[in-house]
Structure 1
Amino acid sequence: MRSSQTPLQIAINVTAMLILFALITMTFQPVFGGWRFFVAGFGGAVLGIVIGLLTSRGSLQGWLYTAAGVVLAYVLFGVQLAVPSTALWHVLPSFEGLRELMLGAVFSWKGLLTAEPPAEGFPSLLVVPFLTMLLCASVATTLALRLRRHGSFALIPVLIALVVGITFGTKIASFPVAVGVALAGVAVAWLAWRSKIHRDALAKETELEVTAGRRLRKDLERKRFLGAIAMLALASIGAAGVGQLVNPAGRNVLRDVVEPPIELADYPSPLAGYRGWLKNYSDETLMTVSGMPADARLGLATMDYHNGEVYTVGGADDESAAGSFARVGDVIGVQQSGEEATVSVSIDGYSGIWLPSTGFAQSIEFEGDRQQALQTSLAYNGATGSAIVLNGLQTGDSYEVHAIVPEYPDVDDLKQATISDVAVPKPAAIPDEIQAWASEHGTNGSTTMENITAMQIQLQKGAFSHGLENETTSLAGHSSFRMDSMFKVDSLVGDDEQYAVAFAFALQYIGVPARVVMGMYPDEGFESGSVELTGDDMHAWVEIPIEGFGWVPFDATPPEDQTQIEPDPVPKPEPKPQVLQPPQPIEEPVELTPEVQPEGGTMDDEEEGFDWLPIVMTVLIVLLSILLLLSPFIIIGLMKLSRRKKRRNAEDPSARLAGGWHEIVDQAVDLGLEVPRGVTRTKVAAHVSERYPQSRASDIGQYVDTGVFGPQSPPEDEVETFWSDVDRSVEAMRHEASFWDRLKSRLSVRSFMRNRSARRRTR
């Protein structure tokens, strides 16, 4: 039914929509962080409300105008609100911004699910709250202003916006109790106000006179007021209870079923190219760094799984989280304690997907011509502090990292340290020689830390060699075969690559979690100012989880001047430990060069390879669940609609009059009124009118008697007018009934049972 609302009523409806959508916008806070999400989301809501207001009245009234207004607002204001970094002078749309806006309408939904919160730094992900609020607010406002009888339908788009905010968010909600209580309170108060306005309009339209005295009217108004207060309280308590019960562990969001589309197994192990950096770039500047703490390390990659051939990052499905990278924006915000550092990096000879960083990044901001390409392909692992850029770093790139560098324990702390119980993938095979060596040197201490220190000291007694010209022979690589052969000679020989892997193998054998890290640092530590790093500054080390400190670096490599320039050592006799199991076959050979990898992981590939099935299945399950819950209302409603249609379309005008009367009686029965059987229509009408004074049942019953038993059939136009009176009578009864009676009447089949009994008696 079309609405003709006063300016005050319009203002109240618009205010309710503003408050509801402002509250719903807050559901996006956990996934975006900061405040820009609110500007985008609430800005879209305001635009949608204005569109709904303009297209609900006057010459622009119509859904076609509403749709056109949404498209126009999206194009004119989307760049400034959803992708503000691309706007010209922060005011005018740009071609780049419009491109991001159009692509964001399709791909930002997937991008938000695979992005690591906070997602505010992504160029186009703010399209999600902006577009959601723009669409839902325009439809909700239009329905609220156009409909009089069924204004509650305006809450459907409000509910849709709420579902989007929750399902596209994180397990951690932002003030769930406060937002839930406020939403429920505003919605119920608005519905109660709409109901009162409709009752007043209905009474005025039908020009009814309520026969109850002043005392009865006051009593009725008091009951309605108390009922509204009770509904508000019940809704608030329910919202608070749900907010408390649905804790983060119990919340299900879409990002739980969508795997990040970054698979590092497609890239060669960075440690496999370790010797190449030393051989080809020993004197060449790879990068220039400033702002590093003196004793910090510039990490490249953290690897936790040895597959028999190389150390690599475990996949996202493995025990460890080292391979779980998620797309991030310029703001990362990993929670960590330690020393703050702002590190600037300028790339010279270095290339590859692994981004040099230190500690745990709070933000990473790129500069230069490739700023956009690098920022959009940035991914981060909050568990290891490693970062990658799928488009690859190259000469001329630069960026700034704001990081928290953890404090490492000193020697005294390590003596009393406890190893954390952290899950790390087991190696495919630990060489027998290393097992025997670890049994000899790593099991005699009184504490685990003593065993760790004993093995570390023993490894540091070995010889250092890169295997380059004029150095002791030392083959590159760290496969199980290479590591087994290293321990078959009298003296250990190798560099960071072999000693770090050997230490990690030995630690894993005695039950200590360990992972290998590859990175850069000068042997004398970082100086203040700018420091040029070359291939000689490339290192590898082991990290062990220590209670209270996190993952702590341990070096097992001998000093570089501890060389052994002698003929190749004589092999020892073959020991007889348990038989070495063959390593798992590797499908593809490992590349040993540090050259930049193919850019096979671009954003376009992610978009093409995205699996929509989990989202589609989730949406279908939700919709089917809602449909199942509503099915009783739908089925019974369709039955009553069919009965009403049959009565109104009867061929005989007298039958249509009688059918209209039965509609009134059936409504009274479904509302809970005990209607007497076997009495005249006049008595039934009096009984209905006594309970529902505004129904005009007595007048309608008298008119039906005249039409049915009169000498002539009533004219068609009078019958149509009569059915309009029937509709108003039914509506008046519903508005005089309580909320629970109206709800129960939707599910009531008492009228069907009563009519069935009446038909049996007439047989």
Structure 2
Amino acid sequence: MSTYPLSAKLRGAARTSQSATLADLRTTYIDWSYLAIGAIGIALGLALAYLTYALRASTLITALGTVLAYLLVGPALLDRADCVAGFAPSLPALRTVAAAAVSGWKELLTTTPPVTADGPLLAVPFILGLVAAALSLTLARRVRAAALPLAAPLLLLGGAIALGTRSHAPWSATGLATAVLCLSWSALRVRRVQPTAADGSRRHYKPIAAIVVLCIAAAMAALAGPLLPGSDPQNRAVLRDRVLPPLDLNKYPSPLVGYRKYTRDANELWDQTLFTVTGLPVGTPVRIATLDDYNGSVWGATNRAGAAAFLRVGSVITPDAADAVAAPGPTSTVRITIARAYASASDIDVWLPTAGSVTSISFTGADTRQLAADLRYNVASASGVVINGLPAATTFTLHTDLTAPTYSAAPPPYGPPDLTDGFGAQFASRAATWAKGASGLSAQLQAIATYLRTTGAYSDGGPGETQYLPGHSMFRLSGFLNGAQPVGDDEQYAAAYALAANSLGMPARVVLGAIPESDGVVQGKDVHAWVELHVAGGAWVTVPDTAFMPDSTKKPDQEPPQQVQDAAAAPVPPPNAAHPPTTDKETHATHVVPGPLPPGTGGSLAWLLNLLMRIVRFLSPILAAAAIYGAAYALKARRRHRRRTSGPPVSRYSAGWRELTDYARDLGVSVPEFGTRRVQALALAAYDLADLAWTADVMVFGPTDPTTHQAAAYWKRVDEARRAMARASRRHRRFLATLSLRSTLASRARPDAAEGGTP
């Protein structure tokens, strides 16, 4: 084991450089307490690596010690509540830290920054510091390469940046500090590991030259840094923008589909209290769910990677600048209490009512910890989901900015719409008809809203109006759009207006919410659906339901509107059968029970075919690997057969010796390519092949030609020697020898092979 002294000054420089790299996580955590945890990990890793080196233990012991140190020290730092006496690890605490080592990275990347610096989320800086410190000191003690130990802090720096955020941070200062520390450490290590003779005059000039070079490099970095790729925070590539959150919103029904239960004629939740709000100015809307995509059947919420994702939240929520809901303003405190009717509604019980642009959410009560763990919040849509639902009597407090965004006279869109399958395009002709030649996007949107409000009628399917079905699938909206008179409630009007806006190039989404009464109580009758438009600057501006909906007292014509297709409108196809139905009526209308298969169709063997396909899919990686190994084995077996049988007997002696040297190369032995057989036999002295080399030389250069029987006998000895070489090698070397290309490349490099001499 090599020993290379490392002074306390060098260890301090290494520890400082690794702490500087961990500082790049400061935009991820809410305060600097995470850095103390990372520093403990660095100190522990350095102590562990030094101890195992001093005891002359192997690197495997260092690795096992690192894992053991994490399990013993981690509970006191990450889960003190479950520790014995607050610091001794217990079984629950060990389970927590073990799970944090596996899933902590995902939880950190799927939590809205800044993250609260407590609990299992601190496992990431602790593990980074522990592993990087142990690896760097282990390399510094056990290898001679001067710069190789710097790989650990550089990888740590890259990991800290990748796990960070797109928020502005002085990366150049951190990078410069890391570079100076690493270069200084490397220079001192070179002088210790590889001392060189130098006169006194040159010894004084070297530090000055190094300082000058560093100053020049720092100046160039400061000037060129803003021009380099990734300098713009909005274009910086970080892992949290590439990670798709695990929350699957498809398992929750769209809350807009069940809108009719809030209407008077449904007599379900019309007069039932859903929740109570305090601290909210009169007339301020409360958002229940934001639905930003349409799949042909329903408007639903999406969970996309990056800022538009439902993520865990800490004690502070930072709205994304590119998807701001409201302009900055004073923060208000709003308290909301969930009632039994809201908790029992299966389509909305998971949605957290919010108002404005939320900056923090805190629960009160017995289930505070569980509710906080189940909460996922989307800063782009300003909506939250509690994955296991909100129980009755749940109370939570919002710190929120209630400033409403301004709506200009002619707002340009923020970007192109991105609805699934482009369903908004199917409304283009209808939107053009409703706009009646209005010029400009703002005028067209206003004309469409005016047409729907003045021409349409309101119906929630009450007595005498049962022909107006609920739902907002393409099948339902085709009757709403193409009839002589649009008839429906908030569900159909909001869905149609949002699709029409998207067809004109204005990104739009549907919001299900409510406007509380003066006493803060929200009942079913207070629930409405409105539309939000994404305008330039990133703000979502509200188009209230009163702008595009007729008054609820305006009933449809006595004669039911005929479902006549407007000649000026493009036909709207029925929904894709793959999309789920929106109502029970549509479910019974579209469901078809397949009959039994006719005789002779092979239905009785379908299970066997399905089983075989599953087995093939499961074994496909193994079969592919076996196919590659078998092909390599067959090619080398064919080459060996050609060498044994092709050409005159004298050439078979040369080919037999070449078979031995090629097999040795495949086993990883270095054999001179152009040396004589005796030189090659010396390189293969471990296998005792000198007699076979001498026999080949005698037969090739002797006065008489060998016979076929003599060549066959020589090849038997070659086969025995080849088996002995295999037995003397390890099992994995024998396996890799079949896949090795060394002998193939070596044979191509030989002059005789190139000339087509001996096979």
Return the TM-score normalized by structure 1: 0.65
Question: Which residue of 2 is the match for residue 544 of structure 1?
Answer: 533
Q: Which of 43, 47, 52 is the aligned partner of 1:50?
A: 47
Q: Which of 163, 172, 181 is the aligned partner of 1:186?
A: 181
Q: Which of 579, 582, 590 is the aligned partner of 2:581?
A: 590
Task: Give the Cα separation in 2 of the matches to 1:291 and 1:140.
Answer: 55
Q: Which of 419, 438, 458 is the aligned partner of 1:464?
A: 458
Query: Any conservation in 2 of the 1:122–1:376 contact (CA below 8 Å)?
Result: no
Question: Which residue of 1 is the match for residue 277 of structure 2?
Answer: 289
Shift of 1:223: 3.9
Residue 34 of structure 1 aligns to a residue whose secondary structure is: coil
Residue 580 of structure 1 aligns to a residue whose secondary structure is: coil
Single out whichever of 469-478 and 506-515 deviates more from structure 2: 469-478
The correspondence of residues 256-655 of structure 1 with structure 2, limited to 5 A, is 256-278=241-263, 279=266, 280-313=268-301, 316=304, 324-334=309-319, 335=321, 336=324, 337-348=328-339, 349-351=341-343, 352-409=349-406, 414=408, 416-425=409-418, 429=423, 438-445=431-438, 447-461=440-454, 462-468=456-462, 474-487=468-481, 491-522=485-516, 524=517, 527=519, 531-547=520-536, 550-557=539-546, 558=549, 562-564=553-555, 567=558, 569=560, 571=562, 575-592=566-583
The correspondence of residues 123-134 of structure 1 with structure 2, limited to 5 A, is 123-134=119-130
Task: Give the Cα separation in 2 of the matches to 1:488 and 1:228.
Answer: 79
Task: Give the Cα separation in 1 of the matches to 2:62 and 2:87.
Answer: 25
Shift of 1:551: 1.4
Are residue 175 (structure 1) and residue 157 (structure 2) matched?
no
Q: Which of 78, 83, 87 is the aligned partner of 2:74?
A: 78
Shift of 1:588: 4.4
Task: Give the Cα separation in 1 of the matches to 2:87 and 2:2.
Answer: 38
Tell me the percent identity: 32
Q: Which of 98, 101, 113 is the aligned partner of 1:102?
A: 98
Query: Any conservation in 2 of the 1:286–1:535 contact (CA below 8 Å)?
Result: yes
Task: Give the Cα separation in 1 of the matches to 2:57 and 2:396.
Answer: 52
Question: Amino acid of the residue matched to residue 276 of structure 2?
Answer: T
Query: Any conservation in 2 of the 1:114–1:260 contact (CA below 8 Å)?
Result: yes
* Structure 1 residues 570 and 498, CA gap change in structure 2 (3 angstroms): closer
Q: Which of 147, 154, 164 is the aligned partner of 1:159?
A: 154
> What CA deviation, in whole Å up to 9, does each residue of 1:128-176 have, x standing for no partner?
11111112213323554x4595564432322332232233334557321
Task: Give the Cα separation in 1 of the matches to 2:356 and 2:316.
Answer: 15
Query: Any conservation in 1 of the 2:479–2:563 contact (CA below 8 Å)?
Result: no
Question: Which residue of 2 is the match for residue 662 of structure 1?
Answer: none
User: Structure 1: which 5+ runs fail to align?
Assistant: 204-209, 211-215, 594-637, 643-651, 653-763
Query: Any conservation in 1 of the 2:425–2:503 contact (CA below 8 Å)?
Result: no
Question: Which residue of 1 is the match for residue 230 of structure 2?
Answer: 247
Residue 351 of structure 2 aligns to a residue whose secondary structure is: strand
* Structure 1 residues 322 and 234, CA gap change in structure 2 (3 angstroms): closer
Task: Give the Cα separation in 2 of the matches to 1:340 and 1:38.
Answer: 30
Shift of 1:38: 1.7
Aligned length: 571
Question: Which residue of 2 is the match for residue 30 of structure 1?
Answer: 27
User: Structure 2: which 5+ runs fail to align?
Assistant: 344-348, 585-667, 673-681, 683-759
Question: Amino acid of the residue matched to residue 288 of structure 1?
Answer: T
Query: Any conservation in 1 of the 2:14–2:185 contact (CA below 8 Å)?
Result: no
Single out whichever of 291-300 and 454-463 deviates more from structure 2: 454-463
Query: Any conservation in 2 of the 1:541–1:553 contact (CA below 8 Å)?
Result: yes
Residue 515 of structure 1 aligns to a residue whose secondary structure is: strand
Are residue 224 (structure 1) and residue 225 (structure 2) matched?
no
> What CA deviation, in whole Å up to 9, does each residue of 1:104-147 have, x standing for no partner?
11122333344443344684232111111112213323554x45
* Structure 1 residues 220 and 453, CA gap change in structure 2 (3 angstroms): closer
Shift of 1:272: 0.9
Task: Give the Cα separation in 2 of the matches to 1:251 and 1:546.
Answer: 24
Return the TM-score normalized by structure 2: 0.65
Query: Any conservation in 2 of the 1:417–1:547 contact (CA below 8 Å)?
Result: no
Task: Give the Cα separation in 2 of the matches to 1:185 and 1:221.
Answer: 20
* Structure 1 residues 180 and 308, CA gap change in structure 2 (3 angstroms): closer
Task: Give the Cα separation in 2 of the matches to 1:243 and 1:83.
Answer: 41
Residue 391 of structure 1 aligns to a residue whose secondary structure is: coil
Task: Give the Cα separation in 1 of the matches to 2:273 and 2:368.
Answer: 22
Task: Give the Cα separation in 2 of the matches to 1:449 and 1:469.
Answer: 38
Task: Give the Cα separation in 2 of the matches to 1:284 and 1:89.
Answer: 50
Task: Give the Cα separation in 1 of the matches to 2:415 and 2:492.
Answer: 24
Residue 392 of structure 1 aligns to a residue whose secondary structure is: coil
Shift of 1:23: 0.3
Question: Amino acid of the residue matched to residue 422 of structure 1?
Answer: G
> What CA deviation, in whole Å up to 9, does each residue of 1:283-304 have, x standing for no partner?
3222233233433322122223
Shift of 1:185: 1.0
Shift of 1:424: 1.8
Query: Any conservation in 2 of the 1:276–1:592 contact (CA below 8 Å)?
Result: no
* Structure 1 residues 120 and 448, CA gap change in structure 2 (3 angstroms): same
The Cα RMSD (Å) is 4.2
Are residue 135 (structure 1) and residue 131 (structure 2) matched?
yes
Question: Amino acid of the residue matched to residue 350 of structure 1?
Answer: Y
Are residue 18 (structure 1) and residue 15 (structure 2) matched?
yes
> What CA deviation, in whole Å up to 9, does each residue of 1:553-579 have, x standing for no partner?
112444765243974545386543345
Task: Give the Cα separation in 2 of the matches to 1:217 and 1:374.
Answer: 71
Residue 41 of structure 1 aligns to a residue whose secondary structure is: helix
Question: Which residue of 1 is the match for residue 633 of structure 2?
Answer: none
Query: Any conservation in 2 of the 1:379–1:389 contact (CA below 8 Å)?
Result: yes
Question: Amino acid of the residue matched to residue 420 of structure 1?
Answer: P
> What CA deviation, in whole Å up to 9, does each residue of 1:401-429 have, x standing for no partner?
322234243xxx65x34232432235755
Query: Any conservation in 2 of the 1:331–1:363 contact (CA below 8 Å)?
Result: yes
Task: Give the Cα separation in 1 of the matches to 2:245 and 2:351.
Answer: 18
Single out whichever of 306-315 and 177-186 deviates more from structure 2: 306-315
Task: Give the Cα separation in 2 of the matches to 1:150 and 1:407.
Answer: 61
Question: Amino acid of the residue matched to residue 100 of structure 2?
Answer: G
Task: Give the Cα separation in 1 of the matches to 2:253 and 2:118.
Answer: 28
Query: Any conservation in 2 of the 1:140–1:157 contact (CA below 8 Å)?
Result: yes
Task: Give the Cα separation in 2 of the matches to 1:467 and 1:289.
Answer: 30
Question: Amino acid of the residue matched to residue 577 of structure 1?
Answer: A
Residue 70 of structure 1 aligns to a residue whose secondary structure is: helix
Residue 533 of structure 1 aligns to a residue whose secondary structure is: strand
Residue 350 of structure 1 aligns to a residue whose secondary structure is: helix
Task: Give the Cα separation in 2 of the matches to 1:90 and 1:344.
Answer: 35
Query: Any conservation in 2 of the 1:178–1:240 contact (CA below 8 Å)?
Result: no
Shift of 1:84: 6.4
Task: Give the Cα separation in 1 of the matches to 2:161 and 2:103.
Answer: 19
Query: Any conservation in 1 of the 2:136–2:150 contact (CA below 8 Å)?
Result: yes
Residue 423 of structure 1 aligns to a residue whose secondary structure is: coil
Residue 271 of structure 2 aligns to a residue whose secondary structure is: coil
Query: Any conservation in 1 of the 2:71–2:94 contact (CA below 8 Å)?
Result: yes
